[in-house]
Amino acid sequence: MNFYYYQSEVIRCLEVVKLIGAHTTTLEPEINVLKQDEQEIQSFIRSLDNKPFIVLQPCAVDKRRMWPLENYPLLADRLKQKNIEVVFAGSGEDKSAVDGIITLMKEKAISVCGEFSLGGLTALLSKASLVIGADTGPLHLARAVNTPTVGIYWAPNLINWGPVTRSIHHPVVSWNMTCPFCGIVPNDPYPFEPRINCDHAISFVRDITVQQVLDAAESFLGSGLKKESALTSVSEC
């Protein structure tokens, strides 16, 4: 089997294990949330007073995958106006950036940056009605716990790392191949591995509009895909 970079990594792995006789009936990754992880977030979930919530994950290690932070105050305000709680997630290092977003909002939002372990974050994502964010770890964790997602992707990365199915996952895609700073197309031979002249830490998905992300979110919020009460789910464990 020849290696070809532009392929869904999920399908690539399934093709490999098929060579040794393994088979699966699912295409999306799946993980189980442990009881101790749900217990870690129990107080926080109760503090939401049983209100449905959306998790926003604005930051990523690679800034080129990040949607411009200045888009999030308007996005979060519009979501709050739908009577849905907005929770910003991230690492401790993301806290200052997220606090800056919340400061610019007209509505109130919650930050849990750095407050939970990886397991606790996974439990939180599993209770959310929707997760919106950059193409980074928490977005993929949300997929693995079967939470609807709106992912913000640069087109070449969508091929490899985007969701395989679309029933509860809606990627919003930037098809702009050129670096916004220098105009070079840095996906030869692979995405974000330029050989010369371009390593600019600038968003490659900045052309995606707030309205595009809202439209994708509303397609889920109006379709009955909201999860059961998060508080009920935790208290029954």
User: Is residue 91 a contact partner of residue 113, using CB atoms and an 8 Å limit?
Assistant: yes
Alpha carbon distance 42, 38 (integer Å) = 6
Which of 18-27, 34-43, 110-119, 163-172 is predicted with the least confidence, judged by mean pLDDT?
Answer: 18-27
Read off the amino acid at residue 25. Answer: T
User: Is residue 38 a contact partner of residue 230, using CB atoms and an 8 Å limit?
Assistant: no
- Best CA proximity match to 48, nearest among 84, 75, 82: 84
Q: How big is the CA angle at 199 (ends 197 and 200), to the nearest 5 degrees?
A: 110
Residue 114 pLDDT greater than 90, yes or no = yes
Any idea which residue has 């999920």 for tokens?
10
User: Residue 178: pLDDT band by 50, 70, 90 thresholds?
Assistant: confident
> What pLDDT, on the 0 to 100 scale, is given for residue 195?
55
Domains of the chain, each with CATH number or no CATH: 31-235 (3.40.50.2000)
DSSP the chain: ----SSS-HHHHHHHHHHTTT---S--S---PPPHHHHHHTHHHHHHTTT--EEEEE---SSGGGSPPGGGHHHHHHHHHTTT-EEEE---GGGHHHHHHHHHT-SS--EE-TTTS-HHHHHHHHHH-SEEEEESSHHHHHHHHTT--EEEEEEHHHHHHHS-S--SSEEEEEE---S-TTT-----SSSTT--SSS----S-S-TTS-HHHHHHHHHHHHTTT-PPS-HHHHHHT-
User: Is residue 82 a contact partner of residue 53, using CB atoms and an 8 Å limit?
Assistant: no
- Mean pLDDT, residues 146-175: 95
User: Residue 1: pLDDT band by 50, 70, 90 thresholds?
Assistant: low
In this predicted model, what pLDDT tens digit does every residue of 63-102 receive, in sequence order? 989 999 999 999 999 999 988 999 999 999 999 999 999 9
User: Residue 193: pLDDT band by 50, 70, 90 thresholds?
Assistant: low
Structural tokens at position 179: 């670096």
pTM of the model: 0.88
Any idea which residue has 């919340």 for tokens?
102
In this predicted model, what pLDDT tens digit does every residue of 89-100 receive, in sequence order? 999 999 999 999
Read off the amino acid at residue 143. Answer: R
Residue 233 pLDDT greater than 60, yes or no = no
> What pLDDT, on the 0 to 100 scale, is given for residue 232?
33
Task: Report the mean per-residue pLDDT for the chain.
Answer: 88
Instruction: Give percent of the chain above pLDDT 90.
Output: 67
Read off the amino acid at residue 64. Answer: R
Any idea which residue has 């640069």 for tokens?
154
Residue 189 pLDDT greater than 90, yes or no = no
- Mean pLDDT, residues 158-179: 93
Residue 227 pLDDT greater than 50, yes or no = no
- Mean pLDDT, residues 21-30: 87
> What pLDDT, on the 0 to 100 scale, is given for residue 200?
81
Residue 191 pLDDT greater than 70, yes or no = no
Instruction: Give percent of the chain above pLDDT 70.
Output: 89
